[in-house]
A and B are shown apart, each in its own frame.
Chain A
Amino acid sequence: MAAKQLRSERTAEWLTRAVLVGLAALWMIPLVWIVTMSFKPNDVLMMSTAGLLPIPFTLKNFNDIFFVSMTPRWLFNSTVVALGTTALTLVVASLAGYAFARLDFPFKRTLFIVVLAGLMVPEQALVIPLHSVITSWDMHNTHFALMAPRVALPVGVFLMTQFFKAVPKELEEAAALDNASRFTIFRRIMLPLSIPALVTLGIYTFLHSWNDFFWPLVSATNTNMYTITVGLASLQGNFAQTEGLGFIMATAVFASLPIVVVYLIFQKYLVRGVALSTGK
């Protein structure tokens, strides 16, 4: 009886594996196909887009990106905005998180709840008034305008607060006895301890900032200030003129390369961040 059950479970196991492999193939084939097209000559793609192997093979599309397109500029903008947003977020969120976790000050709880309430405000409810506010400050089409709204999001502060709270107090008090200032304690003791949390928050911020669509779409109206995410969408407007198919695919590959690399390197941190970011 038990042996029979074991055998049927083993069959189920192999069946599950087969289905999983099939599904994974379904997930990956579109990606492979897009990458393939980016290595094919445009005139060949005009005739047929079929096939998952890049035959005939060319690097012309990638060459074109660098010499005759706006893509390098857009990649530059995306890099500046994503790195800038990440750096600013890490600095302000770790400072504020430390204050909420460890300092004692009037109205602390009220202030924390006000900041957390910001978690409930979706981007979509902010874009319209944010646009109006940034217009009145005459700040559209700047890198800073693309960064600031994401730096203001409370997720990072919440994460860092939770993290610092879990650090044992004894570590700090020893230093305080040596008359170290709050900032010294923060920099010398708390920051080194929080590197894993900072990496998680950093990856998470970088990916979201790189992929931001709605806000850059309305704030950066000058083609020179497009991020790659918005720029690629603008290329798709010209989708009908088919000679550029391979070129568009090559741009998409370029647009994704940095985040895929970041993802593969920091996979574990990102996965943990997903769970953390929902307050679990």
Chain B
Amino acid sequence: MTASQTAALPQDAGASLRAPAKTKSPLRRRDGLAALAFLAPYLVFFVLFLAYPFFWGIWISLHDWELVGTLRKFIGFANYLDMFEDPLFLVSIRNTLLFTLMTVPAMVAVSLALALALNRETRFHAVLRVIFFTSSVFSVTVATLIWIMVLSPDRGLIAHLFQGMGLQPIAFLGSPDWAMPALTITTVWWSVGFPMILFLAGLQQIPQELYDAARIDNASAWRRLTRITLPSLKRTIVLVVVLQIIGQLQIFGQPLIMTGGGPADRTRSMVQTIYETGFTEWQLGYASAMSLFLFGVMFLASMLQLYIARQED
């Protein structure tokens, strides 16, 4: 699943908590202690496995820190400076951006089109919604296994098709030109379900009266789409685009399993470089700095969503 969704910070999360009206109720007494008891189990997990590791990561990113061995030398921001002169990291930034640039528009277009076509209350449409969502429940390992097979030059589905038409099969995953588009196709097939559901939820919220009025005016389907549906979906579109950018910047499993980052590092992603720096070269400090850089980029993307949402209100 595009599991790693970092949900963008819900917009009114803080506001909705602002001091509830101070009504005297029999429940208000001794809440402090009770609250501690209710919160403690979660907070133990939160502190030990999220907050502490996060700050620990910042700390080790300022060190020359090896996974094994005893080298722990404070080097300030040197790791952060080094990464921008590291050809391997730079090429993985380039690939990740290219992948994001290819995948996000494709994903948004396909999921929006599917949502528009499937937003109907018939059995036919319900079954199709299930079909298009089903691939999203597979793990990245299963999804990539399927597509390695489909794209395989000697045993693949597409190769069978090509042979049937008398064409020469293509080694998609081994080709510098085809490898990246192949990853994009795999990713769209795998995870189009989530954005599709978000668009369907958005479509459900458009008041029917708008369409009734348009029908009286004899507005064409195209006009209804461009004048009513798409403008009403603006918020959802922004949300989906940002969630997709955040999600696709973290691409890891597909190239790691399908191409190993090849051919010739053409599909090596940022997370793969982080992973290998940390766990095959054992440079934890350097890998931490790289992952915090990625975090910064993603943080900017979600700020963008908040900013656009503010502009609209």
Cβ of B27 to closest chain A Cβ, rounded Å? 5
Q: Is A65 an interface residue (CB 8 A)?
A: no
Q: Please state if B149 and A213 are interface contacts (CB–CB under 8 Å).
A: no
Assess the B54–A125 pair: CB atoms within 8 A. yes
**A182 adjacent to B34 (CB under 8 Å):** yes
Query: Does B291 make an interface contact (CB < 8 A)?
Result: yes
B80-88, B98-106, B249-257: which lies at the A interface?
Answer: B249-257
What is the size, in residues, of chain A's interface with B at 8 Å between Cβ atoms? 113
Contact: A124 with B31, CB < 8 Å? no
In the assembled complex, the Cα of A2 lies from the Cα of B292 at a distance in Å of 60
Whether A149 and B50, one on each chain, are in contact in the complex, defined by CB atoms closer than 8 angstroms, is yes
Tell me, yes or no, whether A199 is within 8 Å of chain B by CB: no
**Closest A residue, CB atoms, query B19:** A109
Q: A16-B117, A95-B41, A274-B194 are in contact. Are A229 and B14 (CB under 8 A)?
A: no
Number of interface residues of B (CB under 8 A): 105
CA of A260 to CA of B288, assembled, Å: 36
Can you give 17 contacting A-B residue pairs, CB < 8 Å? A16-B117, A30-B146, A34-B149, A45-B155, A109-B17, A109-B19, A112-B13, A122-B250, A126-B50, A126-B53, A133-B56, A151-B45, A152-B48, A211-B139, A213-B253, A263-B134, A277-B7
Q: A27-B189, A176-B25, A177-B26 are in contact. List 19 more A-B contacts (CB 8 A).
A: A19-B117, A31-B146, A92-B42, A95-B42, A112-B13, A116-B14, A119-B6, A120-B6, A122-B250, A151-B45, A151-B49, A154-B50, A183-B34, A183-B37, A213-B3, A218-B275, A232-B142, A249-B149, A280-B239
Binding site for B on A (CB under 8 A): 2, 5, 9, 12, 16-17, 19-20, 23-24, 27-31, 33-34, 37, 45, 48-50, 88, 91-93, 95-96, 98-100, 102-106, 108-109, 111-133, 135, 148-149, 151-155, 157-158, 165, 169, 172-173, 176-177, 182-183, 186, 207-208, 210-214, 218, 229-230, 232-233, 236, 239, 245, 248-249, 252, 255-256, 259-260, 262-264, 267, 271, 274-275, 277-280
